[in-house]
Amino acid sequence: MSTPGSGGSPQPRPRRKKVVLADSRAPVTVLRTVVELEEQTSWAEEVVRSFIRTQFRAAVKFAVGTLLLFGALPLTFYVFPELSDVEFAGVSLPWLMLGVAPFPVLFGIGYWYNVVAESNERDFVDMVEK
């Protein structure tokens, strides 16, 4: 601002800024939860154990499903031996089903497990940050 009689043009006043030392709207529980996880309190250990159990359950479900799926293939060819006579492009069906088909199926199962595991991790982080 110019002073009276200085002859200069008036300058705009600077905007006022609000200074806050402690924001009451800040999530205090997030800090508390992070501190408890870092200090490995009994509550934090239980939360981490719960997360590990969730991830382990998902892994076991996918492993059992995969074993059942691929374990059923030889059993199917044993129970229905006429399937061994079926050919595609000169290659017998058992060779295709046991030697070629598992690779894309395993890739799909692995991708699906990854999506489920990441979802569990996001749920854990969301729970910790609440």
Residue 1: strand, helix, or coil: coil
Q: Is residue 18 part of a domain?
A: no
The model's pTM: 0.64
Q: Give which of 54, 10, 44, 67 is closest to 128, Cα–Cα.
A: 44
Confirm whether 64 is domain-assigned. yes
Provide the domain count of the chain. Answer: 1
Instruction: Flag whether 72 is in a domain.
Output: yes
59 in any annotated domain: yes
pLDDT tens readout for residues 97-110: 888 889 999 999 99
Q: 113 near 59, Cβ under 8 Å?
A: yes
19-51 confidence digits (pLDDT tens): 555 555 555 455 666 666 766 777 778 888 998
CA-angle at 50, arms to 60 and 42, nearest 5° = 145
Distance CA 71, CA 8 (A): 91
In a domain, 75, yes or no: yes
Residue 6 lies in a domain: no
Residue 21 lies in a domain: no
The span from the CA of 66 to the CA of 70, in Å, is 6
Instruction: Tell me the residue range of the domain where 38 lies.
Output: 28-129
